[in-house]
């Protein structure tokens, strides 16, 4: 928990979305501050000025830093000596793109919750803006920042199972399993079940992009084409709650993908299995601190977070001794930490050594993926290339 | 372990295939005889007369009942006072159809190992022959005869999770993960890797039909259409070692299917998850004596074989007290027992009350399924109806 | 499934106890006949002549071989050309000693279910009788004959975890968790809850000796002293339903032992963990086909039955390919098979190579163990040496 | 993450021990600050003034609040307008008692890491001091503050399994499995392996008291007597690395206890099983977010953290939605949060509604427990009452 020598202070960040009653807001704040590298100082917690101000107070922040809109926040913060270094964007899906674009244009770095945008075109635009000024748009795909998913990536990258032949990934959730009657809808329900606001496919925006990113990140592969079936398994629903797809990766490996928010009885269960020419690797969110490696003729290994002998960069992703559970918070915090170190390095003109955390470039791939899935699904399941 | 009153003797059965070095032969024999309802008395253990005879001796059978071919066996057994009641067919895939057809024509019942045939047309022909004379062709899909897969079927049939919305099934195995060099091939390898002899898709004949049957049997559904990808994930292989498919069941439920024999590091791992409107059910072969039932808002239940309160017909599928493991043998034996009781009932002109065990009619569906998958795969993954 | 060349026929065995409604009788019969090395030909299935005869008929045996008592059976069978080779003893606990003694005196070998006797003195007497004539009294402690408990024993014997420092063993069951009202007692309940008939400690006779034998067998150790607490955790019970003990093994290793039949909600759950200087080994009956080996600094290995690379004698204990579950039946059958091979070898004056199966000598140790536990428990828990 | 209305500011706390390289220091700091209710402002991070000051700087604290000793810290902080509200004590075992006594005498509340002291007499003295002024000494037994161990406690308290008959608890770790050579000893090793400094039994001070507290807390029972075996299973070791005990609780329930730091290959594995008259409850640290409830005749329930229908006070212990893993950090933070709310309530003269978190009174019981175990072990394992 030492501060980087370059700053001797935590980086300052403000939220767009994520007020005090939002669990994802609490997650971002705790993750940001867990290692002392970031300090949350304000945000746009509501589009109503007084509510945003009240939220700031309740969160122990300076009341004046509870802003009513992004433009105001960026303008005021720029004028402060202790103004923000970055913005964390986590509101409704259709608010992501304009907030990130404005923050980038204001010269700030961005922590961005998924989905990165509502179309691939928007995502490409954000990527272009960030690249122009060498800014970072980190995406908080926490699943790929668990020590054990990172180690799976390491094992595959270093050839532990040979070249990848196939993978399976799934994200099973009950978030929309039970239909919500119109008069019982919350604000969040209203934008989620409005296809115009939630994006191309609700289930993909909500959870599916996590699964797709995890698979690509761990396998070190990009999807080339899909043969997909997207729709609602809950009767009389207009938004897409379930997506199934067969995948073909660049290089030829096959894949199978299933995400649903309509799994009555489900939790937040994400599983990944990767098949290589010499063995397979399996990881499940329910048992996030362990990784199963089965080698052909070489036995089954259960690898635990912080096992002795793991690479230093994997061991460094944990904060407690072996055997003590860590959770999603620490995985989330890993992305905040890596981004802070990258920002600090850039400011000091040092090379950014760790480029593992997800960025807007991963987000571009996710949006191209969902667009191809929807096109295939609308076209009899025909194999469809990613744009 | 009481004999049926109608016969006061075990039914007599002879093998086609399954000599002393064959594990599946040992499985059939032990399963047949486990409850004392069947007695294995002879068979065609080899196409060479002396080897078939030697096999009979080594298996403790009458040497004269080790036959060189099916026709001879049927003729000789018909002439014996203690001739066979049935034939169990388990040799190379392309030998199934002629052996079953001959046995049916000889008026015998049949225990048939998968695949039932090499084409859907053959399967339909066998179904027609059996129906003509009210004969039984039971198929030994043991996975669907575990107490806990039967209970899953029961739970779904009685509405425990409401109507089925989606299912996932997979069978992961390493049987062909490592390429066999031509000069190292066994007899078994030679017919397996000859697409002309192993049938339409090796992986489907070998294990895939088990997965498809299990899913359909438990869910109580038939597949209407598929969008599939079939091929080899082991480089330079001509037979199909892997099949992925999106499914649409009659009635509209979705499905996802994956079978592979090319999973380096895999065991014989078959998993099934069924999603209903109120909950989900999960079963895995690695933990075959337990079933997981997750109800929306109603908790997660781990149901064990022989738990008090299970239906009598489920409890009756087990032979040891709760907590003591049973295995595939007992599941296999359940099919032999149910078939024996059905034959005995038919002979006594009693109604056949238990019609749960798999038959040639299930086999017809399996063959139509694989034909549709191959057609879809050859046609850009387009949704293809089963014939 | 080949017969031994020496006999070219299965060995013939008769039961004492274990009629058609007895699950353990069914287990013994199936286990005996599973590999074709034994044939059950008769038995004393009831102390009433007509009921024993009826049982024989219902089991498909010759009616004349359903005997009313052991003495008659031994006399009649001796006079038959196809008389029995051995006796399997499995009735109420207090009937074991006289039946085994009579069978040994008649020159027969014995398969003996636990407990071997009701006192250590009786067990020593049986051991002495068997040794005099080089007869075998095999004890059907099936838990120690699973491939994976045998492999645990092998790993420890070959130093995989270094010298053993400590072990834990437990057997948790609900067999007597719910008090049975006197007027609802079955015949079995009546002898079980009569301390005079069930032996020194009901829970030890019923299940505890399995746990103690498993631990000693796998660790390759004998218990030197105990500090124990034996009693009933169900109120107002006179027989002992629970035993806890700290153990000291010859050589100094420590141990912890707990067995109970009063675990409401429990199954038949036996677990063993052995700690060595370099790692630990864990096995659980609920997951009987897998073994967990954790090496200090060397990772966690999940070893599966039939994994490639296991020793041939371990692989030989299984009958189905890797990944397919086997159960208690196959473990039980391993003891029958090993005993048959030992008998056959002795008859052929060949050395008995496999001496792994449990015998009356293990039974002597079990009875000395329970006597020491009861003495310690009655004496304030003081460390008490085994006689 | 809202601040209590009474303070509108976080409580201020300083550390004794736990500098920047200490994992437990990082745990305390993150846990304290996780919900914004505490702020770490300084501490005695080293007994050397300059090192303590440097630690403060590296931790982002005011350099002047890195103190060389407790007395100085208490004096200086008392003089500050923004002085500390509490002290968190976590250094070597023998430093706990004097630090806590001094803090209490200075009128502060205390967060105390285990062991509370090195003798029962010291613990009683601390309890007396705290009671005199109504001060809180919370003990950070995090295992008992997981949502699922709290729910186990709730289930038992509300009769879900009837009255408790027996329990088993164990804590298996490899912390001292490999002997450390004298010349390779760290500072921490030096005080740990010095029996004079580490307390009555190293293993109990390090981990055993967690297991004992967890068992007592969940079962709602106190230990009345023990029959124990304490010693070293690593050869030639003077401190106690392993303790086994049979337990008798007030009211008559039995128990079994095993803790070891000498389990080569072990992690930090703590397991608890509690047997009641109608069922059993099982929890394992490796699967901390789930609880297993097995009811006699009522099935097996797998209860997950944040399952719908759990009591509000259990749901309130979590910070992320169902299915997302949380870890030890959140459990630790629960104790900090509950203590902050208790302090705030006391200051506002409101009743302290939540008194679930562990305190010095639990610590007194732990120290009496270990003293009785050592006495029993030294006296042939004889049952020994707690003082």
What are the b/e assignments for B82-96, b being 16+ CB within 10 Å? ebbbbbbbbbbbbbb
Element of type H or E holding C139? strand C137-139
- The answer to whether residue A343 is domain-embedded is no
Asked if B168 lies within 8 A of A165 by C-beta distance, the reply is no
| Final residue belonging to a domain, choices D88, D123, D141 | D141
Cβ separation C301–A303 shorter than 8 A? no
Q: How far is A210 from chain C (nearest CA, A)?
A: 29
Which residues of chain A form beta strands (DSSP E)? 11-16, 38-44, 86-89, 109-112, 137-139, 164-173, 223-231, 242-249, 254-260, 268-276, 279-284, 290-295, 299-304, 384-385
- Residues in chain A with CB shorter than 8 Å from the CB of B161 are 264-265
Residue among A43, A47, A204 nearest A118 (CA): A204
C8 pLDDT more than 80: no
In this structure, are A184 and A313 located in the same domain?
Answer: yes
B1, C20: Cβ pair inside 8 Å? yes
Query: What's the longest Cα–Cα distance across chain A?
Result: 65
Per CB-CB distance under 8 Å, the chain D contacts of A269 are 323
**Interchain proximity C285–B33, CB inside 8 Å:** no
Does residue B355 lie in a domain region?
no
pLDDT value at B21 more than 90: no
Q: Which residues of C touch A (CB under 8 A)?
A: 292, 297, 299-304, 307-309
Residues of chain A with pLDDT > 90: what percent?
86
Whether A280 shows a pLDDT value over 80: the answer reads yes
- Asked whether the beta carbons of residue B326 and residue C324 sit closer than 8 angstroms, the reply is no
Residue A115, preceding peptide bond in cis (omega within 30° of 0)? yes
Shared domain for A158 and A295, answered yes or no, is: yes
Residues B105, B203: one domain? Answer: no
Q: State the average pLDDT for chain B.
A: 94
Mean pLDDT of C110-122: 96
Selecting from D173, D288, D320 the residue whose C-beta is nearest the C-beta of A27 gives D320
Q: Is residue B2 part of a domain?
A: no
Partner-chain contact A326 D329, CB within 8 Å = yes
Do D176 and D205 belong together in one domain?
Answer: yes
Residue of C nearest to B305 (CA): C267
Six token digits for residue B277:
């409107």
Reduced DSSP (H G I as helix, E B as strand, rest coil) percent helix, strand, coil of chain C, to 5 = 40, 25, 40
In a domain, D310, yes or no: yes
Percent of chain C with pLDDT over 90: 86
| Interface mutation target, options D320, D326, D332, D334, chain A, most CBs of A under 10 Å | D320
Nearest CB to C323 within list B9, B268, B287: B268
Chain D residues in contact with B309 (beta carbon < 8 A): 297, 299
Chain C: list its partners (3+ Cβ pairs within 8 Å).
Answer: A, B, D
| SS3 at position A264 | coil
DSSP state of C233: S
Query: Average of pLDDT values for A51-68?
Result: 95
Mean pLDDT of A322-350: 95
| N- to C-terminal Cα separation, chain B | 43
For the stretch B179-202, pLDDT in tens is 988 889 988 888 888 887 777 789
Flag the least confident range among A104-118, A120-134, B183-197, C261-275: B183-197
pLDDT, tens digit, 9 for 90 and up, residues B112-142 = 999 999 999 999 999 999 987 889 999 999 9
C contact set with B (CB within 8 A): 1-3, 9-10, 20, 23, 26-27, 29-30, 33-34, 36, 58-60, 173, 266-269, 285-289, 304, 319-330
Q: Is residue D344 part of a domain?
A: no
Checking if the pLDDT of A354 tops 90, the result is no
Same domain, D115 and D183: no
Q: Which residue has tokens 């005079």?
A: C196
Residue A25: is its pLDDT beyond 60? yes
Q: Å from C357 to nearest chain B CA?
A: 20
**What is the 3-class SS of chain D, one letter each residue?**
CCCCCCCCCCEEEEEECCCCCCHHHHHHHHHHHCCCCEEEEEEECCCCHHHHHHHHHHCCCCHHHECCCHHHHHHHHHHCCCCCCEEEECCCHHHHHHHHHHHHHCCCEEEECCCCCCCHHHHHHHHHHHHHCCCCEEECCHHHHCHHHHHHHHHHHCCCCCCEEEEEEEEEECCCCCCCCHHHCCHHHHHHCCHHHHCCCHHHHHHHHHHHHHHHHHHCCCEEEEEEEEECCCCCCCCCCEEEEEEEECCCCEEEEEEECCCCCCCEEEEEEEEECCEEEEEEHHHCCEEEEEECCCEEEEEECCCCCCCHHHHCCCCCCCCCCCCHHHHHHHHHHHHHHHHHHHHCCCCCCCCCCCEHHHHHHHHHHHHHHHHHHHCCCCCEECC
Q: How far is B301 from chain D (nearest CA, A)?
A: 5
Domain boundary (D123, D141, D159) is at D141
Q: Which residues of C touch B329 (CB under 8 A)?
A: 319-320, 326-327, 329-330
pLDDT of A3: 61
Q: Using 50, 70 and 90 to split pLDDT, how confident is the model at D25? A: very high
Decide if C302 and A303 are in contact by the 8 Å CB cutoff.
no
Question: Subunits touching B (CB < 8 Å, at least 3 pairs)?
Answer: A, C, D
Residue D22 sits in the same domain as residue D59 = yes
Chain C residues whose beta carbon lies within 8 Å of the beta carbon of residue B27: 319-320
> 3-state SS of chain A: helix, strand, coil percent to 5?
40, 25, 40
- Based on the domain organization, do B275 and B232 belong to the same domain? yes
Q: What is the rounded CA–CA span in Å between residue C42 and residue C87?
A: 10
Instruction: Indicate the helix (H) or strand (E) that contains B59.
Output: none
The domain tally of chain B equals: 2
At residue D116's C-alpha, the angle toward residues D111 and D118, to 5°, is 150
* Residues B223 and B250 both lie in one domain: yes
Give the A:C interface size as CB pairs under 8 Å: 30
Q: Write down the mean pLDDT value for chain D.
A: 94
Q: How far is C382 from chain B (nearest CA, A)?
A: 34
| Six token digits for residue C161 | 């975890």
User: Are D302 and D373 part of one and the same domain?
Assistant: yes
What's the rounded mean pLDDT across residues B241-265? 98
Which chain C residue has its CA at the smallest distance from B8's CA? C60
Mean pLDDT of B33-56: 95
The shortest CB-CB distance from A268 to any of D33, D323, D326 is to: D323
The chains in contact with chain A, meaning 3 or more Cβ pairs closer than 8 Å, are B, C, D
Mean pLDDT of chain A: 94
C353-370 pLDDT tens trace = 767 899 999 999 999 999
In total, chain B counts a number of residues equal to 387
Percent of chain B, pLDDT > 70? Answer: 98
Q: Is the ipTM of this complex over 0.90?
A: yes
Q: Looking at beta carbons, which residues of chain B come within 8 Å of C60? A: 1, 3, 9-10, 36
Phi, psi of A344, rounded to the nearest 5 degrees: -60, -45
Q: D121, D141, D161: which is the final residue of a domain? A: D141
Of D244, D376, D380, which has the smallest distance from its Cβ to C256's Cβ? Answer: D244
Mutate which: B327, B332, B340, vs C, most C CBs within 10 A: B327
Q: How far apart are alpha carbons C138 and C127 in whole angstroms?
A: 11
Chain C CB contacts of D263 below 8 Å: 166, 275, 280
When comparing pLDDT for A21 and C83, which is higher? C83
Residue D171 forms beta bridges with which residues? Answer: D259, D270
> In which band, very low, low, confident or very high, does the pLDDT at B4 lie, cut at 50, 70 and 90?
low
Closest Cβ–Cβ partner in A170, A245, A275 for B264: A275
Region A244-257: mean pLDDT is 98
Instruction: Let me know if residue B376 belongs to a domain.
Output: yes
Q: What is the pLDDT of residue C138?
A: 98
pLDDT at position C2 is 59
Q: Cβ–Cβ of A20/D2 closer than 8 Å?
A: yes
Per-residue pLDDT tens digits for A154-169: 999 999 999 999 999 9
Poorest-pLDDT segment among B172-176, C43-47, D192-196, D217-221 = D192-196
Flag if A299 and C299 touch (Cβ within 8 Å).
no
Chain D residues closer than 8 Å to C280 by CB:
263-266
Domain housing C315: 144-321+364-385
Distance in angstroms (rounded) separating the CA atoms of residues D88 and D110? 6
Residue contact A304–C307, C-beta within 8 A? no
Does D303 fall in a domain?
yes
Same domain, C206 and C97: no
CATH code for the domain in which residue B181 is found: 3.30.360.10
Instruction: Write out chain B residues lying below 8 Å of C283, CB-based.
Output: none
Cα separation, C236 vs C225, in Å, equals: 29
Q: Do B262 and A295 touch (CB under 8 A)?
A: no
Chain A residues whose beta carbon lies within 8 Å of the beta carbon of residue B242: 166, 254
Residues C327, B325: C-beta atoms closer than 8 Å: yes
pLDDT of D8 reads 67
- Nearest CB to D329: which of A26, A304, A329? A329
Return the number of other C-beta atoms located less than 10 Å from residue C294's C-beta.
Answer: 28
Contact C152, C371 (CB under 8 A): no
Per-residue pLDDT of C205-233, as tens digits, reads 999 999 999 999 999 999 999 999 999 99
CATH number at residue D75: 3.40.50.720
- Kindly state the average pLDDT of the residues B17-21: 85
Confidence of residue C197 (pLDDT cuts 50, 70, 90): confident
Do residue C256 and residue D256 have CB atoms under 8 angstroms apart? yes
The pair of structure tokens assigned to C128 is 């002495």
What's the pLDDT band for A84 if we cut at 50, 70, 90? very high
Determine the residue of chain C that is closest to B38 in CA distance: C60
For D321-357, the pLDDT digits (tens) are 999 999 999 999 999 999 999 999 999 988 877 678 9
User: In a mutagenesis test of the D interface, which of C265, C270, C273 is the best target, namely the one with the most D β-carbons within 10 Å?
Assistant: C265
Average pLDDT score over residue span B223-243: 96
pLDDT at res. A191:
83
Q: How close B87 gets to chain D, by Cα (Å)?
A: 42
**Per-chain mean pLDDT for chain C:** 94
- Specify whether C149 is located in the same domain as C134: no
User: What pLDDT was estimated at residue B5?
Assistant: 60
Q: What is the pLDDT of residue C5?
A: 60
**What pLDDT, on a 0 to 100 scale, did the predictor assign at position C260?**
98
Selecting from A1, A3, A20 the residue whose C-beta is nearest the C-beta of D26 gives A1
- Residue A147 CA neighbour count, 13 Å, CB half: 25
Q: How much is the pLDDT for B366?
A: 98
C309 to A301: CB separation less than 8 angstroms, yes or no: no
- Closest CB to D258: pick one of C168, C263, C293: C168
Residues B58 and B153 in one domain: no
Is residue A5 one of the residues assigned to a domain? no
Please identify which residue in the block is written with the tokens 């953290």.
D305
Smallest CA–CA separation between B272 and chain D, in Å? 19
pLDDT tens digit sequence for D81-100:
999 999 999 999 999 999 99
pLDDT above 70 for C136: yes
How many angstroms away from the CA of D148 is the closest CA of chain B? 14
């Amino acid at each position: 928990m030492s501060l980087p020598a370059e700053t001797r202070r935590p980086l300052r960040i403000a939220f767009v979305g994520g007020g005090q009653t939002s669990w994802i807001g609490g997650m971002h704040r705790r993750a940001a501050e867990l290692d002392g590298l970031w300090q949350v100082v304000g945000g746009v917690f509501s589009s109503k000025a007084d509510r945003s101000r009240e939220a700031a107070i309740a969160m122990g922040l300076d009341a004046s830093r509870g802003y009513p809109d992004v433009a105001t926040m960026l303008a005021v913060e720029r004028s402060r000596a202790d103004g923000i270094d970055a913005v964390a964007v986590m509101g409704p899906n259709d608010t992501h793109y304009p907030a990130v674009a404005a923050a980038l244009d204001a010269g700030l770095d961005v922590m961005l919750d998924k989905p990165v945008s509502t179309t691939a075109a928007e995502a490409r635009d954000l990527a272009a803006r960030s690249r122009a000024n060498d800014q970072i748009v980190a995406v908080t795909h926490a699943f790929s920042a668990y020590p054990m998913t990172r180690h799976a990536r390491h094992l595959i990258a270093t050839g532990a199972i040979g070249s990848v032949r196939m993978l399976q990934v799934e994200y099973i959730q009950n978030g929309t399993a039970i239909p919500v009657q119109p008069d019982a809808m919350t604000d969040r329900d209203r934008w989620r079940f409005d296809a115009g606001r939630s994006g191309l496919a609700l289930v993909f925006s909500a959870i599916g992009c996590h699964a797709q990113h995890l698979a690509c990140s761990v396998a070190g592969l990009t999807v080339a084409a899909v043969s997909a079936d997207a729709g609602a398994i809950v009767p009389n629903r207009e938004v897409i709650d379930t997506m199934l797809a067969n995948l073909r990766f660049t290089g030829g490996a096959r894949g199978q993908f299933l995400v649903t928010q309509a799994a009555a009885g489900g939790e937040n269960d994400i599983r990944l299995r990767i098949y290589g020419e010499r063995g397979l690797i399996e990881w499940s969110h329910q048992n996030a601190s362990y990784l199963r490696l089965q080698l052909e003729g070489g036995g089954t290994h259960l690898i635990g977070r912080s096992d002795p002998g793991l690479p230093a960069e994997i061991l460094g992703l944990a904060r407690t001794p072996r055997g003590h559970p860590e959770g999603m918070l620490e995985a989330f915090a890993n992305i905040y930490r890596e981004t802070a170190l990258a920002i600090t390095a850039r400011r000091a003109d040092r090379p950014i050594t760790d480029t593992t955390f997800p960025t807007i470039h991963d987000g571009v791939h996710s949006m191209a993926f969902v667009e191809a899935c929807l096109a295939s699904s609308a076209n009899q399941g025909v194999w469809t290339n990613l744009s």
